[in-house]
Structure 1
Amino acid sequence: MGRLGELERAVMDVLWAHGVPLSVRAVHEGLAERDLAYTTVMTVLTRLVGKNVVRRERAGRAWLYAPLASREEYVAELMLEALALTGDRDSALVRFAHSVSSDEADALRKALAPPRDEGEAR
Structure 2
Amino acid sequence: MAEPDGPRGRRRPQGALEAQVLAALHRAEGPVPASWVQERLTSDLAYTTVMTVLARLLTKNAVTRRREGRSFVWMPAADEAGLAALKMRRVLDGEQDRRAVLASFITTLPEDDEQLLRELLRHADDED
Which TM-score applies when normalising by structure 2? 0.60
SS at structure 2 position matched to 1:22: coil
In structure 2, the residue matched to 1:74 is: 83
* Shift in Å, 1:34: 1.7
In the alignment, structure 2 segments of 5+ residues that lack a partner are: 1-13
- Amino acid of the structure 1 residue aligned with 2:26: W
SS at structure 1 position matched to 2:75: strand
* Shift in Å, 1:38: 3.3
Would you say the 8 A contact 1:57–1:64 is kept in 2? yes
Aligned residues with identical type, % of pairs: 36
Greater RCO (CA < 8 Å, at least 6 residues apart): 1
How much is the aligned-residue C-alpha RMSD, in angstroms?
A: 3.1
* Shift in Å, 1:65: 0.6
In structure 2, the residue matched to 1:83 is: 92
Residues 101 and 14 (structure 1 numbering): CA distance in 2 closer, same or farther, change over 3 Å? farther
Which TM-score applies when normalising by structure 1? 0.62
Q: Deviations over 1:54-109 (max 9, x none)?
A: 32234567642112344333332332332234343222212101222233223211
